[in-house]
Structure 1
Amino acid sequence: MALSIQSTETIASILQKVRDRYGEHCLDNDRVSDCYTIIDEFHANIKEHVATKIDSCQWFLEIVCNDGKVKLEFEYAGPGFDPTQSSPPGEQPVEARPIGGLGLAIMSQLSDEMNYRYENGTNKLTVALDTTLPREDDPCL
């Protein structure tokens, strides 16, 4: 059963819900911080781009763990928006970059796979991480 999250919740309360529900058996690995960062970036995008158009926005998170792989399954109602089709931010100094796109770039960089589909007015984003492998950009390798 998916966690129900309101756009007005703090990221601290959301991550506490995740820890309470899924605990160490699912998210006890070296890449748990990547999962938390992806959840944080998704929530920030909901607050900035979806919830501003309505009073409050509810979204759902299901986490599936199997054989060292973690899938974060996000769902929310609203107009279709495919984050897998957004263009990465250019290589510019931070102060010169236009606002937008950086959170999605972070999510993409931290994940091993991102899939999107739109069904019956619902956006569904699945982000997968293979926790048995170190991140490619790990400076300690």
Structure 2
Amino acid sequence: MNPNLVYLAQTETTVGFLSQNAEALARTKNRPKGKPFLISVDSLNTLRSFTRVPKHHKNRVRRTQKTTFVYPCGLAIRVVKDEEHLQFLKKFKWSYSTSSNPSGKGFDEAFAIEKADVIVFTCKGFFEDKPSTIYKLGKRKLRKLR
């Protein structure tokens, strides 16, 4: 498994491009380089290597599913709990993640397959589900972004 390649895989909520190389993901989606990506991690231990979870929100971060949190440091990180996606993610510990659709448009399987370096098929196939919830965490405050 090469961390510089762009993988097309089914995530918890949608079909996504995953890679540890943010520049490769930005090129794949024709996205501005300054725009940040969500980071998917395989465990709370890996999350700790990126940021500190505010004490007031530790239980929430540990227990929620299909939820992304934007931490005070500015990083958007999701701890993956879906078993199938977790099998793939454990090989890398973490990866940048983005939807596999052209910016501002819906999922197009032909576009996604053409742009990916490696395609990861599962028995479920590819599908889009309800998007994840996104919360911004402060030291005490919690604000819903999506």
Structures share fold, TM-score greater than 0.5: no
**Normalized against structure 1, the TM-score is what?**
0.29
Higher relative contact order (CA 8 A, sep 6+): 2
